Structure 1
Amino acid sequence: MSPFNVEKEITVMKIIIGSKNPAKINAVKKSFSGQVAEFISVDIPSGVNEQPFSDEETIKGAINRAVGALTQGNGDIGIGLEGGVQETSHGLLLCNWGALASNEMEPIIAGGARFLLPEEVAARLRAGEELGPVMDDYAKRQNVRKHEGAVGIFTNGRINRVEMFTHLMNLLVGQFTYQRER
């Protein structure tokens, strides 16, 4: 048998994304770009308010989506990405959190970029509205949450939602691979 005909067994990692949002799906795919993986997106409820209003609530939503994705999708990894807001003494900050769940360990969490929302937007969120529709109205565009996101609008396009969630995903994947190698 020739050494050139030896077939390597390739393990395909099954990654279940707890969202159908294209920005989140693209971020997950970018962060696993060097892996042989199958990506499946499923609509997993966050189990928190439509507009998470604290870090704790946003983290809980991300974990719920990751664990739900892992369970429902019967994959190797479940991913949950959640956007929220956090009230501070400086005003209302946009926040985002992610979770990575696997059968090997407890869910891993990481937080991403934060920035102050304009008072015009913050007041509407405090009154009970959700950021996605508020941003569509504010920016006079449709489906801002599925494209550039609030971050894209308020950074004048310097950072978009895919990039913001990709940074978060890189934090999660880095922690995951570090813990697996230990």
Structure 2
Amino acid sequence: MKIIIGSKNPAKITAVKNAFSEKELEFISLDIPSGVNAQPFSDEETINGAVNRAVEALKKGKGEIGIGLEGGVQETKRGMLICNWGALAANDIEPIIAGGARFILPEEVAIRVRSGEELGPVMDDYAKIQNVRKHEGAIGIFTNGLINRVDMFTHLMNILVGQYQYKKKSLENQ
């Protein structure tokens, strides 16, 4: 089976590989645009980015499964939350979506994101580390390393893969 990942981000690629236990798999990562703003600013926009990546990855990679993972932010009365969404596209089923961890960003980070900066570069400045988005992510910084971006997206991928397996099994039993 060929699984097409709609991203070249190493954290996302590792998370996808972590979620599949089958032996005979081929993973291909493609740089697929999300079709949304570089910094998604709501759950809806972040979901759309994930679905767009999954659907386009499936088409362009000519695989059996396309995966889209997208990070974003969601403004609430309590502050700006980090959010992450994933989508799994496969032939003959509607894209499956799932959301993952959320937490409130420190106000000094949120202010910069609200002003139009992307979270990734803001986190590089904040943490004084390069490429935070490709490694520990904001979640790794703000959980003191207890959870990193790979862990966060692996959890999300496990939800997606589990839903996919359930749907496949349900279709086979019809």
Which amino acid in 1 is paired with 2:160? L
How many Å apart are 1:95 and its aligned residue? 0.2
Asked if 1:160 corresponds to 2:159, the answer is: no
Query: What residue identity is the alignment partner of 1:142?
Result: Q
Structure 2 unmatched runs, 5+: none
- What's the TM-score, normalizing by structure 2? 0.97
| Other-structure match for 1:32 | 20
What percent identity do the matched residue pairs reach?
A: 78
1:79-90 paired onto structure 2 within 5 Å: 79-90=67-78
Cα distance between partner residues in 2 of 1:48 and 1:34:
32
Which residue does 2:102 correspond to in 1? 114
- Residues 13-162 of structure 1 correspond to what in structure 2 (within 5 A)? 13-162=1-150
Q: 1:35 deviation in Å? A: 4.1
The CA distance in 2 between the partners of 1:122 and 1:138, in whole Å, is 11
- Tell me the number of residue pairs that the alignment of Structure 1 and Structure 2 aligns: 170
CA distance, structure 2, for counterparts of residue 43 and residue 75 of structure 1: 15
Q: Offset of 1:161 from its aligned partner?
A: 0.2
| Structure 1 gap ranges (5+) | 1-12
Please, what is the CA RMSD of the aligned residues? 0.6
Instruction: Tell me the secondary structure at the aligned position of residue 135 of structure 1.
Output: helix
User: Which amino acid counterpart does residue 177 of structure 1 have in structure 2?
Assistant: Q
Q: Distance in 2 between matches of 1:136 and 1:37?
A: 34
Larger of the two Rg values belongs to structure:
1
Q: Which runs of 4+ in 1 moved over 3 A?
A: none
For residue 33 of structure 1, give the secondary structure of its aligned residue in structure 2.
coil
SS at match of 2:84: strand
AA at the equivalent of 1:33:
S
Amino acid at match of 1:17: I
Give the aligned residue type for 1:97: W
Q: Secondary structure at the match of 1:80?
A: strand
| 1:6-50 deviations in Å (ceiling 9; x for gaps) | xxxxxxx10000000000000000001334200000000000000
